[in-house]
Amino acid sequence: MCKLQLIAAGIGIGQDLAGVENGPEAWFDFFREHYPRLLYVPPEASLIKNNLSSVHLHNNKDSQSFPFAVYDQLAQQVANSQRRGFLPVTLGGDHSVAMGSITGSLQAQPNMKVVWVDAHGDINTPETTLTGRVHGMPLAYLLGLWAQDRFRLRLHEKNVALFGIRDLDSGEKKIIRDLGIKAVSQSEISRRGINKCWQEVSEHLNLANSPVHVSFDVDAMDPKLFPYTGVPVNRGLNGYECEILFHKISQLKNLRAIDIVEFNPLVNIESGGAVDGRHLVGQFLNSLTQPSQNRAQLKRISLSTTSENMAWPNLA
Ligand SMILES: [Mn+2]
């Protein structure tokens, strides 16, 4: 049985909208009410809320004043959690928190594979960014494309895949092309089916035989499912695709770490859909606390309890 440990990373300096730094608290409240099992292991909560104001980077030199210390602290927590035998789940915060959590995963397992599930590429550098916001740059940081003067373990481009992307800047497209990074767009998922697309990523990264870190940006989900986020993009993962994806992830033999980022509880929009994406996340994490042979079973239960109002195929 996998012992899941929540790690609070209430960091919002990578973007401009207030509220995302409250993400961990809001997740804790939500889980306490609906999925208390997730709190059996005491959460690491030292970065529960960080009030540093947002930082913009427009060239590599700007990064010298960037507050990397909070990310280093997070990296240490994630690495320690794994070494103690837990599955750390880093709750953002904006996606810049992955600069810490994935660094921690690489410290624990240098050959860690990373699946980056996101509407965006998050692979801008301070030179290519149009906004200067660091939550659009964490993947480039991890690949060693900026702040190179900081000593750190580098994520190799062969060890990462993007999944569900549908909004890339032209500079990002060039980086992905030049580095030959595996990237599966949401339109491919819609066209060819999520099972096939996941299989491709799984083979590309050899997920079956590797330690895996999944970095999940809630904006990968369709805004009808999960509107509570700062940079929503239409036509994302639908409920059926989310269930399949979460199921695939839960079946990974060597899943080592998860990020759930960009939940902004102050974005108070009616979801308008029949399902609240927070429950999809909660059910997914809850399923990870079950012995793996029971997870398929659990999935059927969760589908049958939520599919009533939805036009999802019945998998059972
Ligand atoms: Mn992101």
Mode of pairing for the β-strands spanning 113-117 and 212-217: parallel
What is the reported pLDDT for 140?
A: 98
Q: Is 315's pLDDT higher than 50?
A: no
Ligand 1 centroid to Cα of residue 34, in Å, is 26
Residues 6+ apart with CB under 8 A from 80: 104
Residue 132 region by backbone torsions, left for phi larger than 0, else alpha for psi between -120 and 50, else beta = left
Instruction: Write the DSSP symbol of residue 133.
Output: B
Lowest mean pLDDT among 38-52, 69-83, 275-289, 292-306: 292-306
Average pLDDT over residues 141-147: 97
pLDDT band at 49 (very low <50, low <70, confident <90, very high): confident
CB burial of residue 73 (10 Å; 0-12, 13-18, 19+): middle
What is the reported pLDDT for 291?
A: 76
What is the reported pLDDT for 50?
A: 80
Q: Look at 311 and 16; give whichever has higher pLDDT.
A: 16
Residues 6+ apart with CB under 8 A from 215: 95, 98, 101, 102, 114, 115, 116, 117, 118, 258, 259, 261
Average pLDDT over residues 251-273: 90
Ligand 1 centroid to Cα of residue 264, in Å, is 13
Lowest mean pLDDT among 187-196, 283-292, 299-308: 299-308
Ligand 1 centroid to Cα of residue 314, in Å, is 30
In this structure, what token pair is assigned to residue 184? 């599966």
Ligand 1 centroid to Cα of residue 149, in Å, is 24
Ligand 1 centroid to Cα of residue 158, in Å, is 19
Average pLDDT over residues 65-76: 94
Ligand 1 centroid to Cα of residue 304, in Å, is 30
Ligand 1 centroid to Cα of residue 289, in Å, is 25
Closest CA to 286 of 302, 305, 265: 302
Q: Report whether CATH 3.65.10.10 matches the domain 3-309.
A: no
pLDDT band at 301 (very low <50, low <70, confident <90, very high): very low
Instruction: Write the DSSP symbol of residue 126.
Output: T
Lowest mean pLDDT among 12-26, 78-92, 302-316: 302-316
pLDDT band at 293 (very low <50, low <70, confident <90, very high): low
Mode of pairing for the β-strands spanning 255-261 and 212-217: parallel
- The three-point CA angle 307-227-136 to 5° equals 125
Ligand 1 centroid to Cα of residue 165, in Å, is 10
Ligand 1 centroid to Cα of residue 148, in Å, is 21
Strand ordering across the sheet containing 182-185: 44-47, 3-9, 86-92, 255-261, 212-217, 113-117, 160-165, 182-185
188-193 contacts at long range (C-beta below 8 A, 24 or more positions apart): 189/163, 189/164, 189/237, 189/241, 190/235
Query: How big is the chain, counted in residues?
Result: 316
Q: Is 312's pLDDT higher than 90?
A: no
Ligand 1 centroid to Cα of residue 136, in Å, is 7
What is the reported pLDDT for 316?
A: 27
Ligand 1 centroid to Cα of residue 117, in Å, is 8
Ligand 1 centroid to Cα of residue 297, in Å, is 31
Ligand 1 centroid to Cα of residue 308, in Å, is 31
